[in-house]
Amino acid sequence: MGVGWCSFESSEMFASFLASTPLLEESWRLCDRANASLGQAFVIEQVGSRVYVAFSGVQYLIQGLDPSFGNLVSLDSVSEDFLAPLHYRNEGEEPVMVHAGLLHLFLSSYPTFKTQMSTIREKSKSIVITGHSIGGGTASLAALWLLSLLQSESSSLSVLCITFGSPLLGNESLSRALARERWGGNFYHAVSKHDLMPRLLFAPLASITSQLHCLLQFWHLSMQSPQYRQLADQLNSGVAPQIFDNVLAYLGWLTQAGGSLKSLCSPFGNFFFCSEEGAICVENAASVIKMMHLMLVTSSPICSIEDHLKYGDYVGKISLQFLNKTNFMQGDLPKSSYEAGVALALQSAGMLNQEPIASPAKDCLKMARQMGLTPSLNCAKLAIKLSKINPYRAEIEWYKACCDSSDDQLGYYDSFKLRRASKRDSKVNMNRHKLAQFWDHVIRMLDNNQLPHDFHRHRKWVNGSQFYMLLVEPLDIAEYYRTRKHHVKGHYIDHGRERRYKIFDSWWKNRKVTDEENSQRSRFASATQDTCFWAKVEQARDRLDNVRSEHDPRKRAALWDSIDRFEMYARGLVERKEVSIDVLAKNSSYTLWTEDYKRLKSQMRQLPPPFPSLMDVEVVPFLDDNK
């Protein structure tokens, strides 16, 4: 049921699809019923093999306005298992955060919802989760929970979430996480032209706190009774203009920044903008923000308050939008199908002949098309660049094979570390830098949102980055210790490791592991599987030297404990054949360290034990916890 990326050119198709199915009408009918069902968090109705679950938009206000209504809280504050697929994040990214009030509301109904879902899933092929107003935000959380559950079970059950006038749910990290999981197409948010609620949380809560409670109470009463005109007039002269002006100002600020500024919340999924003339569908977050601003510019405080209650009218009119879809051709014909698509979209949004916003709206729709395509095109171009740098990698592989078979029996790592000024070594060092430049460029593109959000899950890039790291990081470590940087900056793992390697580590650890990868090795690996192995060898050598010069018994005992743990760790790698043959070369750093370790250990055993019990000393950590 979910639909992927859509540009303005396909907005008419998506609007047509939804208008031609009972999805919108049935969803709104259930939302209306849920709002009228006092005391119930959600209502359920089955239509054929499809089940509709509608969350109440007034239940939150019945329970009382929580002081944390507009705050965001991290999913980590709930548990690691709650929406588990969304917990992953790249280095430097904020954790996924959601609306505290909506999270509290969903968790209060979670036990009942979970029980109901267990029964429903056995009887249906598809589930539509819906909600109006605050109920829409709760519905989004419910859909995310169900999608997470179905992913863990590899279920084929179809899930679609349709909201009406829902506030935004979470921060930009949430939007990224949904894009990585490719769940954006499971969410459709109907937003009417003037409705303030979907735009409310673009503004910082501090700017609207004093008026927010009154506004929500008004919407609550209006849903329960048609006698709200007098209340609306009161709001028009007091609360509404203040909130309206603040939200409009912040939306304008975000629009001028291209949607790149960190607002309180960020859009995700597909936004179905409704007007009297029809509807259009937009997904790109920056375009969504701009459309919300342009539509609100044509509104007024009282319209923006009342429009929140008119989704039933909009749903009824959407199906009529295509009967008059060619009216815009009364003047000059569009020059191309591209221009026709723009004009149709503007007409559906009710903005075709509205100046001065028609031109900015046209630019916004074109931007949505360009920004939607760019990440995929960039990814394709990167694949071409990757193929062009493969010769550099191949030359380093050849160099490794020569080192491992050399008569000096130093192996790959030590040959590069002890290298002299030869043409072959210089070429390998140059290739090392060229490969680093390419992968740093990939990381910069990710940081700038120029690649698909699920880029790190593409097997091509996960495997490619891992292969690069296994081959090249030992050379980086060798260069680090060859130039004696550890005497200035400290050891490599904590003070010299490049950010790209840390990011690639997280990609590799979060990949889907195949049964073949778990099988036992019958021969040594082509590259040592712990890419920081040689840095740990260097650190162990340093600590072995420190043992000889350390006179404090407690510190010596702690050093020995760390050294012993590394020896056990390294021996385990060798026994499992997770190291390359260069590790066991006769004159490698590891082989020489092992001989030195055994010799010193034997000498220490012949002396009276001067150390306190290891249980009484502070253990010095050695191994990288991420390895």
Highest average pLDDT, of 212-221, 230-239, 282-291, 499-508, comes from 499-508
Q: Has residue 301 got a pLDDT over 80?
A: no
pLDDT digits (tens, 9 = 90+) for 114-158: 999 988 888 888 999 999 998 999 999 999 999 999 988 878 889
Distance CA 52, CA 46 (A): 6
Q: Tell me, what's the pLDDT at 389?
A: 93
Of 99, 195, 263, 476, which residue is the catalytic one? Answer: 195
Give the pLDDT of residue 625.
45
Given pLDDT bands bounded at 50, 70 and 90, which one contains residue 215? low
Task: Exactly one of 133, 148, 348, 588 is catalytic; name it.
Answer: 133
Within 13 Å, how many C-alpha atoms sit on residue 326's CB side? 3
Q: What is the pLDDT of residue 373?
A: 55
Residue type, 107: L
pLDDT band at 627 (very low <50, low <70, confident <90, very high): very low
- The pLDDT score that the predictor gives to residue 67 is 54
Nearest residue to 576 (alpha-carbon basis) of 533, 613, 622: 533
Mark whether 133 is an active-site residue: yes
CB 476 within 8 A of CB 417: no
How many other CB atoms are there within 10 angstroms of residue 405's CB atom?
12
Q: Which comes out higher in pLDDT, residue 279 or 308?
A: 308
Question: Which pLDDT value is given to residue 256?
Answer: 73
| pLDDT tops 60 at residue 623 | no
Spatial separation of the C-alpha atoms in residues 282 and 398, rounded to whole Å: 50
pLDDT for 432 equals: 96
Please compute, for residue 56, the number of CA atoms within 13 A of its CA located in the half-sphere on the CB side. 22
* Residue with the larger pLDDT of the pair 396 and 450: 396
Which pLDDT band holds residue 330 (cuts at 50, 70, 90)? very low
So what's the pLDDT on residue 618? 45
The more confidently predicted of residues 75 and 374 is 75
Would residue 545 show up in a list of annotated catalytic residues for this protein?
no
| Of 55-64, 169-178, 195-204, 401-410, highest mean pLDDT | 401-410
- Per-residue pLDDT band for 403 (boundaries 50, 70, 90) equals very high
Q: Which amino acid is at 274?
A: C
Least confident of 66-80, 197-211, 497-511, 589-603: 197-211
Calculate ∠ Cα 235-194-303, nearest 5°: 35
Whether 365 has a pLDDT exceeding 80, the answer reads: no
Instruction: Write down the pLDDT at residue 4.
Output: 37
Burial of 121 (0-12, 13-18, 19+ CB in 10 A): middle
* Residues facing residue 164 across a β-bridge: 132, 190
Q: Distance (Å, rounded) from C-alpha 479 to C-alpha 485? A: 9
Kindly report the average pLDDT of the chain as a whole number.
Answer: 81
Six token digits for residue 468: 């690069």
Between 398 and 290, name the one with better pLDDT: 398
Is the pLDDT assigned to residue 626 strictly greater than 70? Answer: no
Catalytic one among 189, 308, 453, 456?
Answer: 308
Mean pLDDT, residues 176-197: 89
Share of the chain above pLDDT 70, in %: 75
Count other C-beta atoms under 10 Å from residue 429's C-beta.
14
CA distance 86 to 3: 20
Please say if the pLDDT value at position 605 is more than 70: yes
Is 308 a catalytic site residue? Answer: yes
Residues in the chain: 627
> Rounded to an integer, what distance in angstroms lies between the CA atom of residue 556 and that of residue 549?
9
Residue-wise pLDDT tens digits, 85-121: 888 877 677 889 998 888 988 999 999 999 999 888 8
At residue 603, the pLDDT reads 83
How many other CB atoms sit within 10 Å of the CB of residue 401?
A: 12
What single letter denotes the amino acid at residue 141? Answer: L
pLDDT bin (cut points 50, 70, 90) of residue 492 is: very high
581-595 as b/e: b if 16+ CB within 10 A: bbbebeebbbbebbe
Least confident of 16-20, 107-111, 429-433, 444-448: 16-20
Q: Pick the closest to residue 215 from 182, 238, 198 (CA basis).
A: 238
Bond from prior residue into 356 cis (ω within 30 degrees of 0): yes
Report the pLDDT averaged over residues 450-471.
91
Retrieve residue 102's tokens: 């909506």
| Sheet of strand 158-164, all strands in order from the earlier edge strand to the far edge | 42-47, 50-55, 126-132, 158-164, 187-192, 270-275, 278-282
**Nearest alpha carbon to residue 457 among 470, 446, 472:** 446
Tell me: pLDDT of 322 over 50.
no
CB 322 within 8 A of CB 303: no
pLDDT of residue 319: 59
Asked whether residue 48 carries a pLDDT value surpassing 60, the answer given is: yes
pLDDT given at position 36: 85
